[in-house]
Amino acid sequence: MMETAIEIRDLVTHYGDREILRDVSFSIPRGRTTVILGGSGCGKSTLLKHLIGLLRPTKGAILINGMDITVMKEEELNGVRKRMGVLFQGAALLNSMTLADNVALPIREHTRLEESTIQIMVRMKLDLVGLSGFEDFYPSQLSGGMKKRAGIARAMALDPEFLFLDEPSAGLDPVTAAGLDELILKLRNVFKMTIVAVTHELSSLYTIADHVVMLDRGQVIFKGSLEGLRASDDPRIRGFLNRRPEAESYSPEDYFRFIAGD
Amino acid sequence: MTIEMDKYRDATVMRLSGEIDMYSSPGLRKELLSLVAERVSPLIVDFRGVSYIDSSGIATFVEGLKGMRSFGGRLKFVAVPEGIMEIFTFSKLDRVFEIYGSADEALSG
């Protein structure tokens, strides 16, 4: 039995009146890579924002190492966030800073380490992601894949227990995306981190996933192993894995009524 | 993390135990660099009681080794637990740091 690192219980969330996640419950095993899978708009990025404490749900609980972060005060939550590294979509590097300063920022902010130690750590993190020698480059001087790698180096700055990746390979060419997937595998193997990656890319899924949670229209439709996902006969899962477009959700007459405003 | 200093034959031994992390690394750095300043060599670091080392700890030893090399001193690691060895190997530092099974091996190496 795998040890649970994060447990999500009956999570419900809204944007305004619109329900985004409906009774979402699943567990994230420790030291493994969990992929949250689903098509655009299924609620997976919203779910990730809840896991890192950026959004508060309408109801439900998120237990990280047994502690419910949905009821924590901001100060307490900041303590938990120090153990999390996050790669946001688009990497979210600060453009006015060099790569070295981007990676050093969380270390300078949260520790009392000497600058000489920080500089060595920064070079270690950049080497880890294959960016040795790029310390003095600015984000605007980098390719999309290099920016993502730099974003991972920054996410790794404080040696996090949890690494969250939002669409890590989206927008990258297949070779660059495959290189990034290899890096994610390496991080799990060497640092035994609990990794949570949100993606809709099947190639990433097949390379990095130990555990899969699939969302469809805000609901969990699958949780389990990659083998279990592949063997599923749920038509929504089969359609996604076989890259079939969804069936039209309403008739031409409904469409007419919708655009006519009836 | 705790640091205990000892002597073994002609060497100075630093016995570490607990977690070497971003909170404890500054103390380790201070101790290590003061030994470097005194030109203590060989310095044996015994990892037997270390349960965890993070990148700030590794960076501290990189700084220590750099200091040792500046005067031709030797920094030797002994009894490195498997999990920590994996991290050294991954970062290729296993080929930079001198790593031995025991203090006797370290002194004959």
- Residue among A110, A120, A128 minimizing CB distance to B59: A120
Full residue range of the structural domain in which residue B60 is found: 2-108
Which CATH number belongs to the domain containing residue B12 in this structure?
3.30.750.24
Strands annotated E in chain A: 4-15, 18-29, 33-37, 59-64, 67-68, 84-87, 162-166, 194-199, 211-216, 219-224
Helix (H) or strand (E) holding A71: none
Residues of B in contact with A159 (CB under 8 A): 21-22, 54-56
- Please report, for residues A112, A113, A138, B39, B57, the alpha-carbon distance to residue B25 in angstroms, rounded to integers and kept in the order given: 10, 8, 30, 21, 5
Q: Please, which pLDDT band fits residue A249 given cuts at 50, 70 and 90?
A: low
What mean pLDDT is predicted for residues A200-217? 94
Compute φ and ψ for A4, nearest 5 degrees. Answer: -85, 130
In chain A, which among 48-107 make CB contacts under 8 A with chain B?
107
Subunit contact A190:B62, Cβ cutoff 8 A: no
Between the alpha carbon of residue A190 and those of residues A154, A243, B20, B27, the distances in Å are 17, 33, 17, 26
Confidence of residue B75 (pLDDT cuts 50, 70, 90): very high
Helices A115-128 and B55-70 cross at an angle (nearest 10°) of 110
Provide the ipTM.
0.94
CA distances, A204 to each of A173, A193, A235, A259 (Å): 12, 18, 21, 38
Locate A77 and state its tokens. 């939550």
**Interface membership of A150 toward B (CB under 8 Å):** no
For residue A117, the chain B residue with the least C-alpha distance is: B59
pLDDT surpasses 80 at A148: yes
Burial class (CB in 10 A: 0-12, 13-18, 19+), A52: buried
Q: How far, in Å, CA of B90 to CA of A2, rounded?
A: 25
Question: Among A39-48, A192-201, B63-72, which is the least confidently predicted range?
Answer: A39-48
Residue A49 burial (CB count, 10 A) = 18
pLDDT of residue A247: 58
Q: What is the CA radius of gyration of chain B?
A: 12
- What mean pLDDT do residues A85-109 have? 93
pLDDT band, very low/low/confident/very high, at B24 (cuts 50, 70, 90): very high
Choose the closest CB to B26 out of A114, A127, A190: A114
What global pTM score does this model have? 0.88
Please give the mean pLDDT across all residues of chain B: 95
A4-83+161-260: CATH homologous superfamily?
A: P-loop containing nucleotide triphosphate hydrolases (3.40.50.300)
What is the number of domains present in chain B? 1
For residue B20, what are the contacts with CB-CB under 8 A and spacing of at least 6? B1, B28, B50, B52, B53, B54, B56, B57, B60
Nearest CB to A124 within list B21, B26, B58: B58
Q: Output A137-143 pairs: Cβ under 8 A, ≥24 positions apart.
A: A137/A98, A137/A99, A138/A95, A138/A96, A138/A97, A138/A98, A138/A99, A139/A91, A139/A93, A139/A94, A139/A95, A139/A99, A139/A102, A140/A95, A142/A99, A143/A176
| Distance from C-alpha of A160 to C-alpha of B99, rounded to nearest angstrom | 27
Q: What percent of chain A has pLDDT over 70?
A: 97
- Inspect the interface and report whether the beta carbons of A120 and B90 lie closer than 8 Å: no
Nearest to B73 by CA among B100, B101, B33: B33
pLDDT band at A246 (very low <50, low <70, confident <90, very high): low
- Residues A14 and A191 sit within 8 Å (Cβ to Cβ): no
Chain A environment of B23 (Cβ under 8 Å): 111
Q: Tell me if A124 and B22 make a contact (CB, 8 A cut-off).
A: no
Rounded distance, CA A7 to CA B100, Å?
A: 42
| Chain-chain contact of B55 with A124 (C-beta, under 8 angstroms) | yes
A234 Cβ partners below 8 Å, 6+ apart?
Answer: A221, A222
Residue A39 has pLDDT above 90, yes or no: no
Chain center to CA of A142: 22
A159: distance to nearest CA of chain B, Å? 7
Contact B91 A124 (CB under 8 A): yes
Contact residues, chain B, for A125 at CB < 8 Å: 55
Nearest CA in chain A to B62: A120
Lowest mean pLDDT among A50-54, A87-91, A221-225: A87-91
Interchain pair A113, B26: CB under 8 A: yes
